Amino acid sequence: MDPEDVKKALSRTGKTQHGLAKALGVDDAAITRMLQGRREIKARELPTIRNYLDMPEEKHGRLGASGAWARDVPVLGTTVGGSAGDFTLNTGDVVDYARRPPTLARSSKVFVLYVQGSSMSRWREPGSMVYVDPARPPKPGERVVIECHPDRDGEPSPAYLKELVSRTATKVKLKQYNPEQSFDLALSKVKKIHRVIEWEELLSV
């Protein structure tokens, strides 16, 4: 979903920006910024927007219309906070779909997350997207999503978005940028380490 989708739905239904703001629990100025593309549409807002504007679930395919990138990369559900980590990751909760750059045409396992919190500013700001490649092992110096084991089976996993500094047989060393600091995480707590794909790699030809 992008601002143009919301604009078209507002026009189609005759519903108002004020009503949408009220449904989302934000002020009218936030909706104006959203429609102008100056405010990211957050993953947790998507169900409310669809419900208020009577927007059906999108159908997705590998080929985009009129040469546009196909919108078929799953955006996974995230929520701020948790018992540990920067956010919780529910790999079974697809809340939307993002555009697929041509460089990912054969990458069936790639997914997208919205950044939560400011620990990786200025590299990525809250609300921005990161594309994640779970199939390719990361190297030191690359940014990663560390998915930890949940406290109980069936619960979302605590997760970190950090830079991978090093990895040993017993721990991983991670780095964040704001405030700048490094810390160790026991490998026994780690379920998966997902590599983040940088924008330069996504857009290369």
List of the chain residues with pLDDT < 50: 59-67
Domain chopping of the chain, boundaries: 3-52, 69-203
**What pLDDT shows up at residue 17?**
93
- For residues 138 and 195, the answer to whether their CB atoms sit within 8 Å is yes
pLDDT digits (tens, 9 = 90+) for 27-71: 999 999 888 878 878 767 888 898 899 886 654 444 444 446 788
**What pLDDT shows up at residue 192?**
93
Model confidence, pTM? 0.68
Q: Which CATH code of 2.160.10.10, 2.10.109.10, 1.10.1740.10, 3.90.10.10 fits the domain covering 69-203?
A: 2.10.109.10
**What pLDDT shows up at residue 148?**
92
Short-list 50, 65, 64, 47, CA closest to 9: 50
**What pLDDT shows up at residue 66?**
43
